[in-house]
Amino acid sequence: MKHKCPLRLSELPDWVHDAVTDLEDLPIFRLVSPNNLPPVDAKIANFPNNELIVNRHPDSGTIEAWTRGSPPTISPDHVQAFLVAAGHEDSRQYLLDSDLGPPGQALSERGFVSWRSQIEAGTPVIGPGGKVSIFRTTTSILVDITVRKRSGTLPSKWRALGTIYEPCLEEFNPWRDEIEIEALLGYFELSKYEPQFYLRPAFVFIFSVPGSAGDAVPWQTVRVEPATLSQEIFPREGLGQWHSTGGPYE
C-alpha cells in the first residue's frame, strides 16, 4: 500500500499510524526451502524452437530463464505461460507494472516489462523480489520469476509503532528540512540472489536528499523495518541484509 509521497520527516509518524489503521494483524508466512521445490513448470519450456533454457537459482530457488541466439517474438501466449508458472510457484495476484505501459510496447521500446504480486486481501509484495520480469536485449530474452512458495503461517502482532519511526526521526533529524521519504508497507521479498525462509510484513522507507546547485551531492538510503513480531522467529528473520535504524523490537 502506498500513500502520498514524498513525505517530510515530520509526516512519517502519521503515515505509519494511518498505514495500519483498520488492518488486522498480518501473519508471517513460512517459505518452502529451495531444496524441496518441485521441477519447473513444463509450460514455460513451450517456447519457439525450444529455445528457452530454464533454471532454478541456487540461492533462492526462484525461476530464471533465457534464450540463446537472436530472441524470438514473445507472444501473449508466452507471457501468459510465464504468469501461469508464477501462479504455480505461489498463488497470488499478479499486476502489470502500470508505469511501464502495455507489455508489448514495453518490450519493443524499452526492453523490459514486469508484474508485481499481491498476497491475499490486496497486500502488496515489496522489495527486490515478488515480481515477474521479462527483459529483451539484442541477443536474448531473460525471464525472472522471483516468487517464493509459501508453506504455512505464523501468527504475528504489530510492533509498537513508535519503535518503528522514532529511530528514523532521530537518525535523519540533521536533514529534516531537506529530506524526502517514500514509504511502503507490504510483504518484503528478497532478490533471487538471497535465500529466504520467511515472508513477513515490513515497512520500507526510502530517504532521499535531492540537493540543489551549490549544495551537497544528492544521496539516497533505504531502511527496512519488520512491521510485526512473532515469538517463533527472530525479529529480523526473512529481511536479509537490508539495513534497519536499529530501534527496539517491541
Looking at the structure, tell me whether residues 14 and 116 fall in a common domain.
no
pLDDT single digits (tens) 7-39: 999 999 999 999 999 888 899 999 999 999 988
Residue 239 backbone dihedrals phi, psi, to 5 degrees = -105, 5
Residue 226 backbone dihedrals phi, psi, to 5 degrees = -60, 135
Q: Helix, strand, or coil here: 240?
A: coil
- Mean pLDDT is highest, among 78-82, 95-99, 167-171, for 167-171
Residue 3: is its pLDDT beyond 80? no
Long-range contacts of 103-107 (CB under 8 A, 24+ apart): 103/76, 103/79, 103/134, 107/74, 107/134, 107/136
Domain final residue, candidates 147, 179, 194:
147
Q: Is residue 107 part of a domain?
A: yes
What global pTM score does this model have? 0.91
Q: How confident is the model at residue 118 (pLDDT cuts 50, 70, 90)?
A: very high
- What pLDDT score was predicted for residue 101? 60
Looking at the structure, tell me whether residues 223 and 176 fall in a common domain.
yes
- What pLDDT score was predicted for residue 2? 43
Looking at the structure, tell me whether residues 55 and 22 fall in a common domain.
no
Q: Is residue 20 part of a domain?
A: yes
Domain count, the chain: 2
Residue 131: is its pLDDT beyond 60? yes
Looking at the structure, tell me whether residues 91 and 186 fall in a common domain.
no
CA dihedral 165→168→174→179, nearest 10 degrees, is -80
Q: Is residue 235 part of a domain?
A: no
Looking at the structure, tell me whether residues 42 and 68 fall in a common domain.
yes
- What pLDDT score was predicted for residue 67? 83
Residue 67, domain extent: 34-147
Q: Is residue 245 part of a domain?
A: no
Q: How confident is the model at residue 1 (pLDDT cuts 50, 70, 90)?
A: very low
Contact 69, 31 (CB under 8 A): no
Looking at the structure, tell me whether residues 25 and 54 fall in a common domain.
no
Looking at the structure, tell me whether residues 71 and 18 fall in a common domain.
no
Q: How confident is the model at residue 218 (pLDDT cuts 50, 70, 90)?
A: confident
Report the DSSP pairing between strands 150-154 and 93-96.
unpaired
Looking at the structure, tell me whether residues 43 and 25 fall in a common domain.
no
Looking at the structure, tell me whether residues 188 and 105 fall in a common domain.
no
Looking at the structure, tell me whether residues 223 and 160 fall in a common domain.
yes
Looking at the structure, tell me whether residues 113 and 156 fall in a common domain.
no
CA quadruple 101, 105, 107, 108: dihedral sign: negative
Greatest CA separation for the chain: 59
What does the pLDDT average to over 223-241? 96
Q: What is the DSSP string of 125-145?
A: EESS-SEEEEEE-SS-EEEEE
Angle, vertex CA 118, rays to CA 9 and CA 12, nearest 5: 10
More confidently predicted of 74 and 134: 134
Q: How confident is the model at residue 148 (pLDDT cuts 50, 70, 90)?
A: very high
Q: How confident is the model at residue 51 (pLDDT cuts 50, 70, 90)?
A: confident
Looking at the structure, tell me whether residues 156 and 135 fall in a common domain.
no
What does the pLDDT average to over 105-133? 86
pLDDT, the chain, mean: 88
Domain final residue, candidates 99, 131, 147:
147
CA-nearest of 47, 94, 98 to 68 is 47
Q: Is residue 40 part of a domain?
A: yes
Q: Is residue 124 part of a domain?
A: yes
pLDDT single digits (tens) 189-210: 999 999 999 999 999 999 998 8
Residue 107: is its pLDDT beyond 70? no
Q: Is residue 249 part of a domain?
A: no
Which run of H or of E encompasses 104?
Answer: helix 103-105
Long-range contacts of 205-209 (CB under 8 A, 24+ apart): 205/12, 205/168, 205/181, 206/181, 206/182, 207/168, 207/172, 207/175, 207/179, 207/180, 207/181, 208/6, 208/179, 208/180, 208/181, 208/182, 209/175, 209/178, 209/179, 209/180
